[in-house]
Chain A
């Protein structure tokens, strides 16, 4: 039996604020063993980071641990004098944060920076410290460690930086490793590589890992035990598989239901939603703190707060009705509904908008003194795609693939420099300024950042009314009425009409942005990562909203996201984009099952799916997306392609291989060959797992 490395018992953490004392974390206990990783999940504001940082006494100056006990290797941390604590922080406890760039000093080269840790905490001399750094960088699978040590942080990609930070933290062989959303800022493909690394290191080092994340998919990749937090308390704690297969708390059940399952069928279903929001910790309800949002609530739940009790072996739940919590599969069938309405079938195949050989090339700045030859940045480089009436076209790709620029070219915010954009078959002027009002009305956009997409000085009602009066030509009174209808359509109370954006949460702002887009009664809405900055539960309800409005108004969407699970959940067709070019496009089912293009395949095997039983192929892409100034010749994906053939990929542009319907794949390998390779890798993957 492994020994517990890190134990927290009955921990309470308060924040002192002007409005009084906020009990941010209340009576929390957990234990992490060696070689084990404990996942902390929950929506934002649930107190995950406060718990982890409070336990090692690394809090903001107004935070205070008021009660409880925290032991690292049996040593009590809470009474420890500051000097001893600081010694522990660097050597026995390591923390990896979300942003690697801010964890490293930008003006010191990687090698010196990491060596500093070795000299400080391990007492090594200069040469030995550098040798140790090289050794650690090799351990985190860094290609060419010697070269990396001579680089400055800004010269490395996000994934490489995060590996450097992990190497730095592991240098002293810490007993406890706290990872606070370490992959959230990374691309899916890079995330997969870092997650693999953490899983490997867990086996190699005997550190205990406390892993904080909001992403249930990531949890399944690395955690052994999971604690679900809600408003500062644990709702449930269990081993990974048990938690996903037999959750004993309605909150866990709902969280699992918010995440789209990977199941590409033409039949769309809604997601589970969690009504309401996390309560403020100073306004907690009397009984069970989840009761106001719970679908299994009874009067008795509101009377007294149920304790976190053991309901099965190694399984704790804070629900008094834990026996009545259904199995996830049964619950999902009941709590979700089919979304496509039959009348949508009519007119499905008509193309609404299309891009033909669309190009967006930016001029790059010339050198000031002696002109370095200015190569254009080829952000979008010959994209062909079609959006059909009432359908959703999902656009996926890593960051830097040009997916956002494609959308901006369609709507005219970033005018295309080549090719044509058509609407109803007619070519459009390239920039918004030159498009007639009727065209402007037809295409609307929902932006990624909800905080910037609404004018902070104008009320919600104002924001929604403006397109109604400007593009719809409605009078003030009629527009006001319609704006209120739209608020209802996006499930916001009409009382929000006079609110200012800063009085709304992120999800609510995005709902207003959606209402504003629909106010123009457009045929096409471009959604640029509209949900990626939001909590899982909010993501789920926004996806439901988008689907509902699409069925009601027969609007087409272009849904841009790096999140393949969200894209497959919403889309009828999918375009996979790499470095400004479409790699594969077609009906969602055809693109994803099985994935034919090697890039689609790699993306799909990198997505962390929130199901511990799904087997994914171990395909990992090396490196990162090349600069759009140096697009590789031949097939632009060839330097990273796992199915690289040889000279033909390096020298010749691949042909479009036509599949079923309008399914097209941009690859040198013929389709039937690609399909056969799929089966082989699946078998290989199975064997590897069996071994």
Chain B
């Protein structure tokens, strides 16, 4: 049987739009559909809370994330320190809040660079096609065939850990994935009639790519970007834990887990809190990107 939501949209779409009712615009349609999916909505809200903390964390945090309090080392969670304190007596809650900025900066910029470069490669390779497309895609396949954490470790141990290098490592790892998504969109769109109409008009290649094809690839690209971002949180935290990521004294979550290993018996919160925070952010980002896929892609991305 047909999916009721699809059936309903079909029932409604059979009716032409000549009536002067104001049809909602695309984005409003997305929002309306998102509201009907509670999991996706919760994911989006949690994500937005983290985004807010990343931007305004230093003002929101109750303590200075570096302030040490020798009298309150490894204190259990209490009213004054909701998530307890670490071995230097620093407030874990404040460090979590301030630490979100790093995640968003490195993950976000890394994903952004990957999206920009990946999109450029995917567009060019897909539109030109032929042998060059084949060569580019096989090269990207080679890059994809390495386990990502291993590749990141190799790259970082060569160039040395720094925030800027982390951004580039994230970007290099995700470029092939973004490029593949964009390329598949281009392959789908480049033979559509509206692109042919543009060719018949004698439009330049750049116009066809950036004005006709790219705008129609944005929804899947956005979904892909949000998925990449959630994986990059993992990656940055893992690298931090392994000591090749963000360096101390920065309040990085992965770094915090690493520090807390030694105190697992006496102060489990110092490990559990950052670990759970990573999990919550990754899950909510995944829920959000899943929701985006369902509301933005035709057929809800079911394949």
Contacts and interface: CB of A to CB of B under 8 A. Distances in A.
A614 interface: no
A504 B203 CA distance: 25
21 contacts: A15-B8, A17-B8, A17-B12, A24-B11, A45-B16, A60-B3, A60-B4, A61-B2, A62-B8, A278-B15, A283-B19, A440-B201, A443-B200, A444-B200, A445-B200, A447-B197, A453-B194, A453-B197, A455-B215, A458-B211, A471-B201
A470 B7 contact: no
Contacts of A15: 7-8, 11
Interface in B218-244: 218
Interface in A257-316: 276-281, 283
Contacts of B7: 15, 60-63
A17 B18 contact: no
Contact of B26 (A61, A412, A502, A513): A502
Contacts of B18: 276-277, 505, 508
A516 interface: yes
A277 B201 contact: no
Nearest to B197: A453
Interface string B194-225: 10110111110000000110011010000000
Contact of B4 (A45, A62, A412, A513): A62
A416 to B, nearest CB: 15
B199 A413 contact: yes
Nearest to B8: A17
A448 B17 CA distance: 20
Interface residues of A, number: 56
Contact of A432 (B15, B19, B202, B211): B202
A17 B11 contact: yes
A141 interface: no
Contacts of A50: 11
A277 B14 CA distance: 11
Nearest to A517: B197
A19 B19 CA distance: 16
Interface of A: 15, 17-19, 22, 24, 44-45, 50, 60-63, 276-281, 283, 411-413, 432-433, 435, 437, 440, 443-445, 447-449, 452-458, 466-467, 470-471, 500, 502-508, 513, 516, 520
A412 B200 CA distance: 8
A519 to B, nearest CB: 10
B192 interface: yes
B25 to A, nearest CB: 7
A411 B201 CA distance: 10
B142 interface: no
Contacts of B302: none
Nearest to A231: B15
B17 A503 contact: yes
A575 B177 CA distance: 49
A18 B193 CA distance: 34
Contacts of B17: 503-505, 508
A500 B25 CA distance: 8
Interface string B8-35: 1001101111110001011000000000
Nearest to A467: B201
B15 A277 contact: yes
B193 A507 contact: no
Nearest to A19: B12
A276 B16 CA distance: 9
Contacts of B218: 457
Contacts of B197: 445, 447, 453, 513, 516
A62 B2 CA distance: 10
A62 B10 CA distance: 12
A520 B14 CA distance: 32
- Counting from the closest, the 10 A-B pairs by CB-CB distance are A505-B16, A45-B14, A60-B7, A447-B193, A457-B215, A453-B193, A277-B16, A62-B4, A440-B202, A17-B8
A276 B17 CA distance: 10
A413 B215 contact: no
Contacts of B23: 503
Interface in B173-201: 192-194, 196-197, 199-201
Nearest to A444: B200
Given A437-B202, A444-B200, A454-B194, A277 B212 contact: no
Contacts of B3: 60
B159 interface: no
Contacts of A466: 201
B202 A452 contact: no
Contacts of B1: 60-61
A503 B21 CA distance: 10
B179 to A, nearest CB: 21
Given A60-B1, A456-B216, A502-B26, A18 B200 contact: no
B25 A432 contact: no
Contacts of A45: 14-16
Contacts of A471: 201-202
Given A283-B19, A500-B26, 11 more contacts: A22-B12, A60-B8, A61-B2, A277-B16, A277-B19, A413-B196, A447-B193, A453-B193, A455-B212, A455-B216, A503-B23
A24 B11 CA distance: 9
B12 A432 contact: no
Nearest to B11: A15
B11 A508 contact: no
- In this complex, the member of B4, B7, B18, B197 whose beta carbon has the largest number of chain A beta carbons within 10 angstroms is B197
Nearest to A447: B193
Contact of B201 (A18, A449, A470): A470
Contacts of A504: 17
A19 B2 CA distance: 19
A278 B11 contact: no
Contacts of B25: 500
B204 to A, nearest CB: 10
Contacts of B215: 455, 457-458
A44 B10 CA distance: 11
- In this complex, the member of B8, B25, B201 whose beta carbon has the largest number of chain A beta carbons within 10 angstroms is B201
A457 B14 contact: no
B81 to A, nearest CB: 47
Contacts of A503: 17, 23
Contacts of A278: 15-16
A432 B26 CA distance: 34
A283 B26 CA distance: 23
- In this complex, the member of B16, B192, B196, B215 whose beta carbon has the largest number of chain A beta carbons within 10 angstroms is B16
Contacts of A61: 1-2, 4, 7
B180 to A, nearest CB: 22
A452 B15 contact: no
A516 to B, nearest CB: 7
Contacts of B203: 470
B284 to A, nearest CB: 26
A280 B15 contact: yes
Contact of B193 (A22, A280, A452, A457): A452
A508 B216 contact: no
Contacts of A467: 201
B111 to A, nearest CB: 23
Nearest to A519: B201
A231 to B, nearest CB: 9
A454 B189 CA distance: 12
A173 B11 CA distance: 32
Contacts of A63: 7
A455 B194 contact: yes
B1 to A, nearest CB: 6
B217 to A, nearest CB: 10
Contacts of A500: 25-26
A507 B36 CA distance: 31
Contact of A507 (B2, B16, B192): B16
